[in-house]
């Protein structure tokens, strides 16, 4: 008997602060239409000093972990390129603050923006092989470094997703084995220190498209499926920024019947643009982007029916890429819409460019210090109004180089 394995639920934490792109464009003397129309970004998410990748991970996971499933989670993987410690994995904090069973494997993985997909595929394979009703939790969590005035400043962001994998998929079933992948070493983007995030963006974009083609060709070879348009109801791509998914979609459409640019654009709007529903408001979310894109697509698509196939593409600098397929479950649209991420995004506090710059400068100064506190009355006393007594995990600071966490 074939075992069904897939995504039971996805929790998304979009942060509590946001910066409008038109506001940033005005300060940087940049045409806002370029960011809105070409890059397809409207806002970016941002953390106060009392949030970090650990708090985002836990606050996302609390949306899918409850008393009915907590003890069933026997595998926890945290995927990130924003690690807060060179030795201790973030997964240990996540395990502690979610109160998971001690009989649970936990570890942290890193492979740029591909790490989350790698973790989900490994978790799905593990779930398929266990004889009982265990579940796996994959959490992706990242935030950008400081890049004032750089051309890529507009594509920065932050956020986390928590993907619950089980034999009882409610959102999508993973077609285990139906995937194509491609890997080769390239030095495109890098984070060599706790404060530096750099690289060659043009090299990375070219590598992304090359890897997409190679991973898709491998998928076709392995599955015998060569009709991109007919095989999938919807298409989701890793989104460093939304505009790149339009370029990716055009690339794969060229494998089919010839289309004009207008026809390609209409095809993109019909089959892929829905994935940007939330990503346009969060900016670059690294490894989380495909799962946030999946939730955006499902929530935006009342035409999605049970069994409909969706293609997923993930790319990680360095590099590795994977093209794989999932099938929508019958209640997928309703469950994704009921998660109501739109309201969470609307609840974020909009910051001024001055507040954004002060916040990122402070974070950069503190990142390697061993003693400091984070909670204060900044941002119009945002901690008191948005965190106090809300039972969110917060990062309270460092004491003798040990990170301190608490519930708000």
CA distance 307 to 305: 6
For 300-364, the three-class secondary structure string (H helix, E strand, C coil) is HCCCCCCCCEEEEEEEECCCEEEEEEEEECCCHHHHHHHCCHHHHHHCCEECCHHHHHHHHHHHH
Averaged pLDDT, 174-202: 90
pTM for this structure?
A: 0.97
Q: What is the pLDDT of residues 273-319, one digit of tens each?
A: 999 999 999 999 999 999 999 999 999 999 999 999 999 999 999 99
Give pLDDT, residue 194. 83
pLDDT at 397 over 90: yes
Asked if 140 and 79 touch (Cβ cutoff 8 Å), the reply is yes
Domains of the chain and any CATH numbers: 6-407 (3.40.47.10)
pLDDT at 138 over 90: yes
Give pLDDT, residue 267. 98
CA distance 4 to 169: 7
Which tokens go with 268?
A: 């993109």
pLDDT at 157 over 80: yes
C-alpha gyration radius of the chain: 20
Phi and psi dihedrals of 178, rounded to 5?
Answer: -90, 80
Q: What is the mean pLDDT of the chain?
A: 96
Give pLDDT, residue 198. 86
CA distance 304 to 297: 9
Q: What confidence tier does 1 reach under pLDDT thresholds 50, 70, 90? A: low
DSSP characters over 7-76 = EEEEEEE--SEEEEHHHHHHHHT--HHIIIIIS---EEEE--TT--HHHHHHHHHTTT--TTTGGGEEEE
Q: What is the pLDDT of residues 59-68, one digit of tens each?
A: 999 999 999 9
- Angle formed at CA 198 by CA 192 and CA 200, multiple of 5 degrees: 125
Averaged pLDDT, 244-267: 96
- Please enumerate in sequence order all residues whose Cβ is within 8 A of that of 131, keeping only pairs 6 or more positions apart, or say none: none
pLDDT at 23 over 80: yes
Asked if 137 and 8 touch (Cβ cutoff 8 Å), the reply is no
Q: What is the pLDDT of residues 192-243, one digit of tens each?
A: 888 888 888 888 889 999 999 999 999 999 999 999 999 999 999 999 999 9
What single-letter DSSP state applies at residue 279? G
Q: What confidence tier does 336 reach under pLDDT thresholds 50, 70, 90? A: very high
Give pLDDT, residue 120. 98
Give pLDDT, residue 3. 83
Q: What is the pLDDT of residues 338-354, one digit of tens each?
A: 999 999 999 999 999 99
Q: What is the pLDDT of residues 87-126, one digit of tens each?
A: 999 999 999 999 999 999 999 999 999 999 999 999 999 9
Of 400, 283, 379, nearest to 50 (Cα)?
379
């Amino acid at each position: 008997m074939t075992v069904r394995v897939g995504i039971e639920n996805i929790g998304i934490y979009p942060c509590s602060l946001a910066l409008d792109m038109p506001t940033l464009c005005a300060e940087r003397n940049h045409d806002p239409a370029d960011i809105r129309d070409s890059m397809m970004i409207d806002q970016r998410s941002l953390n106060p000093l009392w949030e970090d990748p650990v708090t985002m991970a836990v606050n996302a996971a609390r949306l899918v972990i409850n008393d009915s499933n907590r003890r069933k989670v026997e595998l926890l993987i945290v995927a990130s390129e924003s690690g807060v410690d060179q030795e201790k994995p973030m997964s240990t904090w996540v395990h502690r603050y979610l109160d998971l069973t001690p009989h649970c494997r936990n570890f942290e993985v890193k492979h740029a923006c591909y790490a989350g997909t790698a973790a989900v595929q490994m978790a799905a394979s593990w779930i398929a092989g266990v004889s009982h009703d265990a579940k796996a939790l994959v959490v992706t969590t990242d935030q950008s470094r400081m890049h004032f005035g750089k051309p890529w400043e507009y594509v920065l962001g932050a956020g986390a997703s928590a993907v619950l994998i089980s034999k009882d998929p409610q959102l999508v079933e993973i077609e285990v084995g139906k995937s194509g992948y491609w890997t080769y070493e390239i030095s495109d983007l890098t984070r060599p220190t706790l404060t530096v995030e750099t690289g060659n963006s043009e090299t990375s974009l070219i590598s992304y498209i090359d890897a997409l083609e190679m991973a898709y060709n491998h998928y076709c070879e392995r599955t015998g499926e060569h009709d991109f348009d007919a095989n999938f109801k919807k298409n989701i791509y890793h989104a460093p920024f939304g505009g790149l998914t339009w370029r990716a979609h055009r690339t794969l459409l060229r494998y089919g019947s010839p289309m004009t640019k207008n026809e390609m654009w209409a095809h993109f709007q019909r089959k892929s643009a829905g994935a940007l529903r939330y990503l346009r408001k969060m900016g670059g979310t690294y490894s989380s982007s495909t799962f946030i894109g999946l939730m955006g697509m499902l929530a935006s698509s009342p035409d999605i029916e049970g069994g409909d196939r969706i293609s997923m593409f993930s790319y990680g600098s360095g590099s590795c890429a994977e093209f794989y397929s999932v099938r929508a479950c019958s209640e997928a649209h309703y469950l994704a819409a009921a998660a109501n991420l739109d309201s969470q995004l609307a609840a974020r506090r909009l910051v001024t460019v001055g507040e954004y710059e002060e916040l990122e400068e402070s974070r950069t100064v503190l990142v390697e210090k061993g003693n400091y506190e984070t909670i204060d009355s900044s941002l119009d006393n945002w901690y008191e109004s948005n965190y106090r007594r809300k039972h969110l995990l917060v990062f309270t600071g460092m004491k003798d180089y040990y990170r301190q966490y608490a519930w708000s």
